[in-house]
Chains A and B, each alone.
Chain A
């Protein structure tokens, strides 16, 4: 089917429109603003039957979102980078309230120093918040994952909020052909949201109450965990129905040239495309390379990762994020999924790259595979931090300007 050229931001807004969201509390931030501008336009033009409100901060925005979701509204909002960090306190509340609203995060590296292009420290700062997380590689996936995320979040077995992540610039401002699902079919896939004990003036309900006692707290927290784990099964069921209706298939993870692969790169989000190219080039050279893309980050698809990486020679985990003093954030999660596996991969290489959207060349990606091959031949795995010589030359030049030495 022929798609329409849409930016990732418009694809996210289109997902919200197709989901017939009731309420959009918003606060602008680059590179997300186009999402809420687009929605504001559509609401004004009457294309979307939603209430759009600009709040005074991301913290208020998220509070309004959670409260409206409890009241029975289907809620959509969006943020990025520092905005995501500012929502964090409320993210934990909204998921604790079991309010199944949706937050689109347009990934951008976090300050300081200030940067505009993407890495995943922002969205991964929300990894322990109880929000489900779905990460997109293409603009098409943005629209589709918004619909899937609502379907999973609002399922009575789950009732948790969700984040759909799209990379700033690489998706947010990149136009790709997107096939927009037919509204009639979306309505069939995503029926109206049915809240649990919705707040009504005629029927008061108290939510988000204090429990004080640790055993009560543990009970509700364990249930939150159980619901998040359940979300995978619910996602798989929903994805099958999605494929029947729309012809595109999704899973918690996606394999690329995995079948006989000895060297597998684990990646997520828009840079996965670069990984695919690298795999193709390695295959042309006779290297059995493959790729495993994480679509679902919460719940963490540990079983799928284990099943698909069993028996590989070397696995590389490409983290587009950095926890200073530790390394990549997803590496220990992937390693944890593999450690107790009989026939676990020979080695797991941590890779950190593309921070702040650092432009990454085919050669850098090839170097990652070279390293994996060297490890297979006996080299001790040591974390790889991608940076090129020509970039270091530019760093030095710019520092000289900053210090008045040029």
Chain B
């Protein structure tokens, strides 16, 4: 999923997709190597890449020495302060800090906005302190950016319609090719000493990421488990435990 924000002292008329951002914030570092995501496409020369990761900045974005890279462990701080991996306030704080928005303006806006959507006063306060911490971790960066040259050209209709273009997927069942295990924030583990193989987790898993091995035992398919932890919630014997996981490949 991608989302865009524009702010300016002048009236903004353009909406939607930002082709050449000054700042690109990546909320999950597994997206960096995903060719479909390609999150840094168009990031301006002199721009800033903010990445939620536990990795060091140097390893995040090789091959772009014309941009600054800021890494911050948003998920870690969110778990510590909010108790859940909800990152919005933290990333807002990071972008505000980098672009020179005052802290008071950020925190006031956050309280107003989160209050408006019906969050409890306690949760609003926690989000404000989450933002405060992230804001304090980072320094301001002077943004002096320049659009990258593009080789973009229009193609005439004749080029578009040349092959008949009937939408179809002949290579069906190809979702196996796409592993979603790198979405995990938490990793479920089955304690087979406690597990009675009652198959409740198998029935409840919304991703069909519980499979059964040759011996009839339930096994977690870590290539595709997204770490929703429904198995842990549903297990009547508390045989599933969770642990924080970073850098899932």
Residues on A lying within 8 angstroms of B by beta carbon are: 5, 112-113, 169-171, 174, 270-274, 276-277, 357, 359, 361-364, 367, 383, 385-390, 392, 401-405
Q: B12: shortest Cβ distance to chain A, in Å?
A: 8
Given A273-B14, A361-B19, A388-B153; 9 other pairs, CB 8 A cutoff = A5-B113, A112-B167, A174-B15, A359-B17, A359-B19, A385-B156, A388-B154, A402-B171, A405-B171
CB distance from A157 to the nearest CB of B (A): 35
- B63 in the interface (beta carbon within 8 A): no
Any chain A CB within 8 A of the CB of B157?
A: yes
Q: Give the distance in Å from the alpha carbon of A367 to the alpha carbon of B153 in the complex.
A: 9
Q: In the complex, which residues of chain A have a beta carbon less than 8 angstroms from the beta carbon of B155?
A: 387-389, 392
Contact, CB under 8 Å: B169 / A389: no
When C-beta atoms are compared, the residue in chain A nearest to B157 turns out to be A385
Tell me if B215 is interfacial: C-beta within 8 Å of chain A: no
Q: Closest CB-CB distance, B25 to chain A, in whole Å?
A: 17
Q: For the complex, is B168 an interface residue (Cβ under 8 Å from A)?
A: yes
Q: How far is the CA of A389 from the CA of B156 in the complex (A)?
A: 9
CB-contact partner of B15 in A5, A171, A389, A390, under 8 A? A171
Scoring B13, B155, B160, B171 by chain A CB atoms within 10 A of each residue's CB, the highest score goes to B13
Which chain B residues lie closer than 8 Å to A112 at the CB level?
167
If A359-B19, A361-B152, A363-B150 touch, whether A276 touches B13 (CB-CB below 8 Å) is: yes
Q: How far is the CA of A55 from the CA of B44 in the complex (A)?
A: 49
Q: A277 contacts B154, CB within 8 Å? A: no
Q: Are B170 and A389 in contact (CB under 8 A)?
A: no
- CB of A258, distance to nearest CB on chain B (Å): 16
Q: Give the nearest-CB partner of A112 in chain B.
A: B167
Contact A273 B171 (CB under 8 A): no
For B162-176 the 0/1 string (1 means CB < 8 A from A) is 000001111100100
What's the least CB distance linking B173 to chain A, in Å?
Answer: 10
Partner of A404 from B19, B150, B154, B171 at Cβ < 8 Å: B171
Give the docked Cα–Cα distance between A362 and B113 (Å): 32
Q: Can you list 24 A-B pairs, Cβ within 8 angstroms, ordered by A? A: A113-B167, A169-B16, A170-B15, A170-B16, A174-B15, A174-B16, A270-B15, A271-B15, A274-B14, A274-B16, A277-B13, A362-B19, A363-B150, A363-B152, A367-B154, A383-B157, A385-B160, A387-B154, A387-B159, A388-B152, A392-B159, A401-B171, A403-B169, A403-B170
Cα–Cα, bound, A26→B13 (Å)? 32
Q: How far is the CB of A284 from chain B (nearest CB, A)?
A: 15
Chain B contact residues, CB within 8 Å of chain A? 12-17, 19, 113, 150, 152-157, 159-160, 167-171, 174
How distant is the Cα of A359 from the Cα of B159 in the complex, in angstroms? 19
Contact of A392 among B150, B160, B171 (CB under 8 A): B160
Q: Smallest CB-CB separation from A402: which chain B residue?
A: B169
Cβ-closest chain A residue relative to B158? A385
Which residues on B sit within 8 Å (CB–CB) of A361?
Answer: 19, 152
- Cα–Cα distance between A5 and B108 once the two chains are bound (Å): 14
Closest to B116 in A: A4
Chain B residues with CB under 8 A of A270: 15-16
Residue with the highest number of chain A CB atoms closer than 10 Å, among B16, B160, B168: B16
Residues of A within 8 A of B153 (CB): 388-389
Select from chain A the residue with minimum beta-carbon distance to B154. Answer: A367
When distances are taken between beta carbons in the complex, the residues of chain B under 8 Å from A403 are 169-171
Residues of chain A lying within 8 A (CB to CB) of residue B167? 112-113
Q: Whole-angstrom distance between the alpha carbons of A113 and B169 in the complex? A: 12
Docked-complex contact B16 and A389, CB < 8 angstroms: no
Q: Which residues of A contact B150 (CB under 8 A)?
A: 363
**Shortest beta-carbon distance, A42 to chain B, in Å?**
12
CA distance A363 to B15 in the complex (A): 15
Chain B residues contacting A402 (CB-CB under 8 Å) are 168-171
CA distance A169 to B17 in the complex (A): 10
Please report the C-alpha to C-alpha distance between residue A404 and residue B150 in the assembled complex, in whole angstroms.
30
Distance between Cα atoms of A363 and B151 in the complex (Å): 10
B15 near A277 with CB under 8 A, answer no
Residues of chain A contacted by B159 (CB below 8 angstroms): 387, 392
Task: With CB as the reference atom, state the residue of chain B lying closest to A173.
Answer: B3
Q: What is the CA–CA distance of A236 and B150 in the complex, to the nearest angstrom? A: 45
Q: A364 to B15, alpha carbons, bound, how many Å?
A: 15
Task: Tell me the smallest distance from the CB of A95 to a CB of chain B, in Å.
Answer: 31
Query: Least Cβ distance of B152 to chain A in Å?
Result: 5
- Docked pose: A362 CA to B19 CA in angstroms: 9
> Known interface pairs A171-B15, A270-B15, A404-B170. Does A386 touch B113 (Cβ–Cβ under 8 Å)?
no
Query: How far, in Å, is B20 (CB) from chain A's closest CB?
Result: 9
- Residues of A near B14 (CB, < 8 A) are 273-274, 277
Min CB–CB distance A138 → chain B (angstroms): 9
Query: Which of A171, A386, A388, A401 contacts B174, CB < 8 Å?
Result: A401
Which 7 A-B pairs give the minimum distances between C-beta atoms? A404-B171, A273-B13, A359-B17, A385-B157, A402-B169, A276-B13, A389-B153
Give the distance to chain A from B67, nearest Cβ to Cβ, in Å.
Answer: 21
Residues from chain B with a CB closer than 8 A to the CB of A389 are 152-155
Q: How far is the CB of B108 from chain A (nearest CB, A)?
A: 13
Taking a contact as CB atoms under 8 Å apart, the answer to whether B154 and A364 are in contact is yes
The distance in angstroms between the C-alpha atoms of A174 and B170, with both chains bound, is 36
| A175: min CB distance to chain B, Å | 9
Residues of B within 8 A of A364 (CB): 154
Q: A387 with B160: in contact, given A277-B13, A363-B150, A402-B171 (CB under 8 Å)?
A: yes
Closest B residue to A393 by CB, please name it. B155
> Is the beta-carbon distance between B16 and A357 smaller than 8 angstroms?
yes
